[in-house]
Amino acid sequence: MKIRRFIIIFAVIAGICTVPAACAGNLTVINKIYKIVCDIESGLDKPEDLKEKPEKKYIALTFDDGPHPKYTGEIVNILTEKNAPATFFIVGDRAELHPTLLRRIKKANCELGNHTYNHVDLSKISRNEFISQMEKCSQAIYNATGEYPKVYRPPFGRISKANEQYIDGKMKKILWTVDSHDWNTPDKNKIVRQVVSSAKNKAIILMHDFYSQSVEALPDIIDELKKQGYEFVTVSELIKLWELPERMEYFIN
């Protein structure tokens, strides 16, 4: 990537400098050219299906606390039918009971994340227990799918700074920007209204694959958001869309 960048920049500078008057005092122009090249490359280097399109809005559905023996499979069926990938934050001891469901999630082009082994509050446990909770959950996911998770979500959205440092870049912490409140209302219409009214570009929606009302609300949520122009992606895909191009200012005015 960097070799290609320097070839482009060198060619442009050489063109400018063939005219002596144009070459003098053109560091500002050259610097702007370099930034444009970076912007072009940031688009070229992304996979075609992850290039951000100006007319598109992106949103990530996430489901916590599963796998549930009934509801997780029903949710996967809906996501597959409607071509809406999502991210499932998995509880390790439940993964050990239902490894087939994890394989179904992966086969549906969805992502698996770590949600601890026993759904514990990561702000209230010791370092050793924290490491055990995270490692056992990741191992349960690996045992079922052959892949370790790259993202995690602390239960209740809580984790102490002391414990967070032990992740050490192995996984990215993912919280949420829209709470569906599917965990405290049985009314599927309220859940739909809550999500649709709060949705914004690049939002992360918190849901759970542990309640019947979540299953009932999901088709309407997907349909309404698609009508508004949203494209569904996993949280890792959303992170890639958020990344800024590498910028190094070689030319200083």
The CATH number for 202's domain is: 3.20.20.370
Distance set, CA 120 to CA 108, 125, 132, 192 (Å): 28, 8, 11, 28
Catalytic positions: 64, 208
- For 146, what's the count of Cα atoms within 13 Å in the CB-facing half-sphere? 3
* Same domain, yes or no: 24 and 70: no
Residue-averaged pLDDT of the chain: 83
Whether 232 is in a domain gets the answer yes
Residues 17 and 96 in one domain: no
Asked, for residue 207, whether it belongs to a domain, the answer is: yes
Which of 194, 250, 205 minimizes the C-alpha distance to 10? 250
**Is it the case that residue 31 has pLDDT exceeding 90?**
no
Asked if residue 9 is part of any domain, the answer here is: yes
Pull the structure tokens for residue 179: 């709470």
Between 66-70, 217-221, 240-244, the lowest mean confidence (pLDDT) is in 240-244
**Same domain flag for 41 and 83:** no
- Helix, strand, or coil here: 62? strand
CA 35 to chain CA centroid, Å, is 27
87 with 20, same domain: the answer is no
- Give 109-147 pLDDT, tens digit per residue: 999 999 999 999 999 999 999 999 999 999 999 999 999
Across residues 164-182, what is the average pLDDT?
Answer: 93
| Per-residue confidence (pLDDT) for residue 168, from 0 to 100 | 78
Residue 213 DSSP SS3: helix
Domain for residue 94, yes or no?
A: yes
22 and 117 inside one domain? no
pLDDT of residue 203: 96
Residue ranges in 98-243 assigned as alpha helix (H): 99-107, 127-145, 161-164, 188-198, 212-227, 235-242
User: Does residue 98 sit in the same domain as residue 165?
Assistant: yes
Residues 76 and 20 in one domain: no
The end-to-end CA distance of the chain, in Å, is 25
Domain that holds residue 173: 57-240
Residue 164 and residue 216 in one domain:
yes
Is there a single domain that holds both residue 73 and residue 37? no
Whether the predicted pLDDT of 231 surpasses 90: yes
Predicted local confidence at residue 160, as pLDDT: 96
| Percent helix / strand / coil, the chain, rounded to 5 | 50, 15, 35
The total of structural domains in the chain comes to 2
pLDDT at 36: 46
For residues 46 and 108, which has the higher predicted lDDT (pLDDT)? 108
Q: Are 192 and 218 in contact (CB under 8 A)?
A: no
Tell me: cis bond preceding 67? Omega within 30 of 0 counts: yes
pLDDT digits (tens, 9 = 90+) for 51-76: 555 568 999 999 999 999 999 999 99
SS3 64: strand
132 Cβ contact list (under 8 Å, min separation 6): 117
Q: Is 250 among the domain residues?
A: no
- Are 38 and 63 contained in the same domain? no
28 pLDDT higher than 50: no
What's the average model confidence in pLDDT over 189-208? 97
CA distance 53 to 56: 5
Residues 31 and 110 in one domain: no
103 pLDDT band, cuts 50/70/90, is: very high
Does 33 score more than 70 pLDDT?
no
Alpha-carbon distance of 170 to 195, in angstroms, equals 31
The reply to whether 245 falls in a domain is no
Confidence of residue 170 (pLDDT cuts 50, 70, 90): confident
Q: Is residue 36 part of a domain?
A: yes
Residue 198 has pLDDT above 50, yes or no: yes
Question: Residue 198 falls within a domain, yes or no?
Answer: yes
